[in-house]
Chain A
Amino acid sequence: MKPAPFGFAKARSVEHAIALLGEHADARLLAGGQSLIATLNMRLSAPKLLIDINALDELKRIAVAGDWLEIGALVRHAEAERSPEIARHAPLLALALPHIAHPAIRNRGTIGGSIAYADPAAELPACLLALGGELVVASKAGRRVIKADEFFKGLFETALGPGDVLTAVRVPVAGADSRHGFAELARRHGDYALVGLAAAARAGGKTLRDVRLAFFGVGATAIRAPTAEAAVALGTDAVAALARDLDPEGDVQASAATRKHLAGVLLRRVVVQLAEPRA
């Protein structure tokens, strides 16, 4: 299939992109394009205008600012994978990145694009939830910061409005007591997960606190599992607790019962990872 016709404009700055979004109804931002162009090819979407933001170098930085690691929205997955700052300050992201699609797609796909697209089976939205991350958004009204917990609203639906540009994601810099875990199951390495789990916690003596478990592929968005989080912190049966948190739907890839079972399998694996001190 081929895309329906559309106009094309290159944004010269974030302000220019915002202006173009304001001037044209039915316009879409084009970042890495690794999901958007597929949906254009399949004619699942047919915007009137694509606004290419790939030339905006201001969105390509990775930098530590205080207690936060800020990653520009246009940082590509492959660049993030190679980033020493991300390996050091956001080890959960470093664990998750190799699971995103395939090398040729990671060379183009962007961190911001994955977040803004908000596929329910994607890795990065769950990582941001687990880390208690934030999203930096620019619009005509100025700049605002949205917590990851309030960003993912529904299936492919986020807190971004039609005039918004996601400019960066921020995650807290990992400390010596930070613990992380990541696991996912997919039919083929790099495919969207049947079930996945991104987790973060803090080590406190022999137990864990601030446990944050974010499952993906088991609902309309990546979701926290509060009952299981409490169980992990208390050292009680977290897999049994998980039954209260998850209510996945079955589809052609896996039944609801299979997904629930696999979520428990992943939780067992990730709890082991959380108990390990940082390398």
Chain B
Amino acid sequence: MTERFHDIALTVNGEEVRERVDARKTLVDFLREDLDLTGSHAGCEHGVCGACTVLLDGAIVRGCLTLAVQCDGARVVTIEGASDSGALADLQQAFQARNALQCGFCTPGMLLTAAALLAQGGVPSREKIREHFSGNYCRCTGYHAIIDAVESVARARAGGDA
């Protein structure tokens, strides 16, 4: 089995998917082009910007630095799935309330990256939040509003003031 095209079976947002893929196709292109899930954005395509962030077996990864063919048997969740499940609702509201997005291109990656940080529990320091977001570019907001939004949700989830 050293061929270029391979059959893969995986779950995407809880649904079983079977497709034949070209080995060179990245996960983000597979999601966007083959499955029409265009919420994951292809930005820099070399791992710098974070716009393509998706969950692979529960962990955030770069959709542009993972090949679709490697995801045979894996569980992928995109911004569509995470959003529809309601798991991000408080983060989405906080982003909107604090103007933590303008053009929105980076937002899917920002939300999934935020969810991964908050899943660790507790209220991270602003420094820790900044460090965690070091791999996600936003060219509109200047980041402060994003950090504010994430911090406020962390506090609210911990039962403090929003």
Chain A residues proximal to chain B, CB less than 8 Å: 1-10, 20, 24, 30, 33-34, 37-38, 40-42, 49-50, 52, 54, 78, 98, 101-105, 107-108, 188-190
Q: Which residue of B is nearest A188, CB measured?
A: B134
Q: In whole angstroms, what is the CA distance A104 to B26 when docked? A: 16
B residues less than 8 Å from A107 (CB atoms)? 56, 59-61
Q: Which residue of A is nearest B23, CB measured?
A: A8
A residues less than 8 Å from B66 (CB atoms)? 33, 37, 108
Sample of 5 more A-B contacts, CB < 8 Å, known A33-B70, A37-B67, A78-B59: A8-B3, A8-B4, A8-B23, A30-B67, A104-B61
Q: In whole angstroms, what is the CA distance A10 to B61 when docked? A: 20
Main secondary structure of the interface of B (DSSP, over half): mixed
Contact A42 B46 (CB under 8 A): yes
Q: In whole angstroms, what is the CA distance A171 to B13 when docked? A: 41
Does B64 have its Cβ within 8 Å of any Cβ on chain A? yes
Contact B2 A104 (CB under 8 A): no
Contact B1 A34 (CB under 8 A): no
Does B126 have its Cβ within 8 Å of any Cβ on chain A? no
Does B50 have its Cβ within 8 Å of any Cβ on chain A? yes
15 CB < 8 A contacts A-B: A6-B23, A7-B4, A8-B2, A8-B6, A8-B67, A24-B2, A33-B67, A41-B64, A98-B131, A101-B47, A103-B132, A104-B61, A189-B131, A189-B134, A190-B135
Interface residues on B, range: 35 or more
A residues less than 8 Å from B70 (CB atoms)? 30, 33, 52, 54
Contact flag A103-B135 (CB < 8 Å), given A8-B3, A41-B46, A108-B65: yes
User: A161 to nearest B CB, angstroms?
Assistant: 21
Q: In whole angstroms, what is the CA distance A251 to B113 when docked? A: 32
Contact B113 A104 (CB under 8 A): yes
Chain B residues proximal to chain A, CB less than 8 Å: 1-4, 6, 22-24, 26, 29, 45-47, 50, 53, 56, 59-62, 64-67, 69-70, 113, 116-117, 130-132, 134-136
Contact flag A105-B62 (CB < 8 Å), given A37-B67, A38-B46, A41-B26: yes
User: A8 to nearest B CB, angstroms?
Assistant: 4
A residues less than 8 Å from B67 (CB atoms)? 8, 30, 33, 37, 50
Contact A9 B113 (CB under 8 A): no
Q: Which residue of B is nearest A23, CB measured?
A: B2
Q: In whole angstroms, what is the CA distance A34 to B47 when docked? A: 7
User: B54 to nearest A CB, angstroms?
Assistant: 9
Contact B46 A105 (CB under 8 A): no
3 tightest A-B contacts by CB?
A102-B135, A8-B23, A38-B46
Contact flag A7-B47 (CB < 8 Å), given A34-B65, A103-B113, A104-B53: no
Contact flag A104-B135 (CB < 8 Å), given A6-B24, A8-B69, A54-B70: yes
Contact flag A4-B24 (CB < 8 Å), given A105-B47, A108-B66: yes
User: A33 to nearest B CB, angstroms?
Assistant: 6
User: A113 to nearest B CB, angstroms?
Assistant: 11
- Quick one: which of B4, B22, B67 has the most chain A CB within 10 A? B67
Q: Which residue of B is nearest A38, CB measured?
A: B46
Contact A2 B24 (CB under 8 A): yes
B residues less than 8 Å from A20 (CB atoms)? 2
Give the residue of A33, A37, A54, A102 whose beta carbon is less than 8 angstroms from that of B50: A102
Q: In whole angstroms, what is the CA distance A10 to B69 when docked? A: 10
User: B92 to nearest A CB, angstroms?
Assistant: 20
Q: Which residue of B is nearest A102, CB measured?
A: B135
Contact A103 B116 (CB under 8 A): yes
